[in-house]
């Protein structure tokens, strides 16, 4: 883990304003929906998409484009489909390389990659397992059956996220400056205010490291047991193992 | 295989995708096309989405790629003079109007290099965790943090400059 100093008030205010900025252009939404529906047909409208149906989507879209039967913005469907399919093929793992081939980036081995094909979940018929409007938490999303409804945005996701971030930054700074007590205090405040917050993986990772730094190893191991179960692929793992002297 | 419908994703996340594209440097005039491209790309890979995983980081990967394509096209097109950055040539009144419409953060984001901007947006605006960003970009977590530090400095500097300029 690395530590970051908190953002300045001015930068935070700018981000908060950006998050609060009105978003959404209903007319644009309707136009794009109409074009997607025309291009993709049933693949756009159906509730549950199977592997077969969705795999057929690019071909269907290309076919429509080739026939020129759908009028799209600036007549760009063919180009759009080509770009989109290419993007689909390269999105996710390796995106950074695509954007920045010069970088030294080495692939990580964590399985928390979100674009890598995953085994099918046991229940694929549950509709709309879309995350709520808040940014998703790392690594461990609730399964569809217990996922919040699409419209169930938190009361103040913007302020909550900013407050979460501030507490986690404080906790990180505590660890960085050799003050695990301060780190733990920030962690506890975060846990109290945001028990299921979006940054809970970071919180719990920092908690374990802070407890270990304070010599409260048994307590740290207790938390680590839960952490390991909840975030088996966490990138905190090596650091925690080193701090607790546990086997990876 | 995925149990998610593209329509459900579209309905829930269209606005977010648009905001994300803007934050990643897609111009307002290109936004509609870019959003459409993003959802078409998602359609092509929907079968690979694991509903037990958070949706937005997955979508972010598509938006990032589409935004990069748009920025590249813009740079490659010498006839493309509709750059929003040209607003620096506008009158103070026009500039103030543009700034207000666009928002300080969006203008400051333009000052961050592309590779770092995505990380900044993911971490400091979307609240994605560093491990999640590292996995999405296939880079080490320490690289995420080092780029983020630079991006933050760039953003802070830009916010300060823009704020001071607005006061004059």
Encode pLDDT of A142-160 as tens digits.
333 333 333 334 455 556 7
Nearest-angstrom CA–CA distance, B146 and A92: 21
> How distant, in Å, are the alpha carbons of A115, A136, A146, B129 from that of B132?
11, 10, 22, 5
Count Cβ neighbours within 10 Å for each residue of B115-124 and write b for 16 or more, e otherwise.
Answer: bbbbbbbbbb
Q: What is the ipTM of this complex?
A: 0.84
Instruction: Say yes or no to pLDDT of A55 above 90.
Output: no
**What percentage of chain B exceeds 70 in pLDDT?**
82
More confident residue, B119 or B88: B119
Instruction: Say yes or no to pLDDT of B16 above 90.
Output: yes
Crossing angle for the helix pair A26-40 and A77-90, nearest 10 degrees? 90
Instruction: Say yes or no to pLDDT of B82 above 60.
Output: no
- pLDDT at position A182, please? 87
Instruction: Please tell me which of the candidates B3, B8, B145 has its beta carbon nearest to residue A2.
Output: B145
In chain A, residues 38-97 whose CB comes closer than 8 Å to chain B: 39-40, 43-51, 54-55, 57-58, 61, 72-74, 76, 80-81, 83-97
Residue to test with chain B: of A32, A106, A194, most B Cβ within 10 A: A32
Say whether residue A128 is in contact with chain B using an 8 A CB cutoff: yes
- pLDDT at position A59, please? 42
- pLDDT at position B149, please? 95
Rounded to two decimals, what is the model's pTM? 0.53
CA-derived radius of gyration, chain A: 22
Instruction: Say yes or no to pLDDT of A87 above 60.
Output: no
Q: What are phi and psi of A9, to 5 degrees?
A: -60, -40
**CB contact at 8 A, B143 and B133:** no
Closest to A11 measured CA to CA, from B23, B153, B18, B128: B153
Instruction: Say yes or no to pLDDT of B166 above 90.
Output: no
Instruction: Say yes or no to pLDDT of A115 above 70.
Output: no
Instruction: Return the domain boundaries, chain A.
Output: 25-109, 157-244
Residues of each domain in chain B carrying CATH 1.10.10.10: 90-168
Which residue in B has a C-alpha nearest to residue A83's C-alpha?
A: B37
**CB contact at 8 A, A7 and A172:** no
Residues of each domain in chain B carrying CATH 1.10.1740.10: 1-82
Nearest-angstrom CA–CA distance, A206 and A93: 26
**CB contact at 8 A, A87 and B62:** yes
Give the CATH class of B90-168: mainly alpha
Averaged pLDDT, A60-86: 41
The CATH code of the domain at B1-82 is 1.10.1740.10
- pLDDT at position B71, please? 85
Residue with tokens 């690289």: B143
Residue to test with chain B: of A88, A157, A162, A205, most B Cβ within 10 A: A88
- pLDDT at position A202, please? 83
A vs B: CB pairs below 8 A? 342
- pLDDT at position A151, please? 38
Where residue B58 falls among pLDDT bands split at 50, 70, 90?
Answer: very high
- pLDDT at position A46, please? 55
Contacts of A80 in chain B (CB under 8 A): 33, 36-37, 40
């Amino acid at each position: 883990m690395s530590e970051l100093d908190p953002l300045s008030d001015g930068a935070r205010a700018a981000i908060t304003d950006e998050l609060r900025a009105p978003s959404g252009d209903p007319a644009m939404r309707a136009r794009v929906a109409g074009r997607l529906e025309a291009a993709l047909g049933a693949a756009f409208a159906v509730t549950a998409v199977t592997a077969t149906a969705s795999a057929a989507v690019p071909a269907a879209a290309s076919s429509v484009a080739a026939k020129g039967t759908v009028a799209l913005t600036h007549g760009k469907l063919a180009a759009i489909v080509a770009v989109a399919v290419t993007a689909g093929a390269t999105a996710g793992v390796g995106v950074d390389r695509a954007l920045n081939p010069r970088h030294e980036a080495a692939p990580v081995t964590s399985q928390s990659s979100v674009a890598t094909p995953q085994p099918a979940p046991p229940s694929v018929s549950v509709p709309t397992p879309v995350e709520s409007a808040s940014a998703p938490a790392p690594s461990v999303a609730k399964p569809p059956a217990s996922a919040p409804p699409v419209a169930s945005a938190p009361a103040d996701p913007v302020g909550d996220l900013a407050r979460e971030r501030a507490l986690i930054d404080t906790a990180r700074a505590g660890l960085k400056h050799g003050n695990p007590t301060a780190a733990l205090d920030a962690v506890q405040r975060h846990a109290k205010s945001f028990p299921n917050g979006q940054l809970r993986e970071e919180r719990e990772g920092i908690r374990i490291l802070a407890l270990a730094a304070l010599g409260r190893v048994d307590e740290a191991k207790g938390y680590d047991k839960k952490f390991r179960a909840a975030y088996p692929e966490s990138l905190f793992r090596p650091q925690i193992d080193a701090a607790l002297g546990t086997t990876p | 295989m995925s149990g998610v419908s593209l329509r459900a994703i579209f309905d829930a996340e269209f606005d977010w995708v648009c905001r994300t594209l803007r934050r990643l440097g897609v111009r307002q005039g290109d936004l509609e096309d870019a959003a459409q491209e993003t959802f078409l790309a998602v359609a092509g890979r929907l079968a690979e989405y694991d509903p037990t995983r958070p949706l937005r980081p997955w979508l972010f990967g598509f938006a990032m790629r589409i935004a990069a394509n748009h920025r590249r096209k813009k740079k490659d097109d010498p006839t493309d003079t509709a750059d929003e950055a040209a607003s620096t040539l506008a009158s103070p009144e026009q500039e103030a109007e543009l700034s207000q419409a666009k928002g300080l953060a969006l203008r400051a984001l333009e000052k961050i290099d592309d590779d770092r901007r995505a990380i900044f947006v993911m971490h400091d605006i979307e609240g994605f965790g560093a491990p999640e960003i590292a996995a999405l970009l296939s880079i080490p977590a320490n690289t995420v943090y080092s780029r983020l530090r630079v991006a933050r400095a760039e953003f802070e500097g830009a916010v300060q400059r823009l704020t001071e300029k607005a006061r004059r």
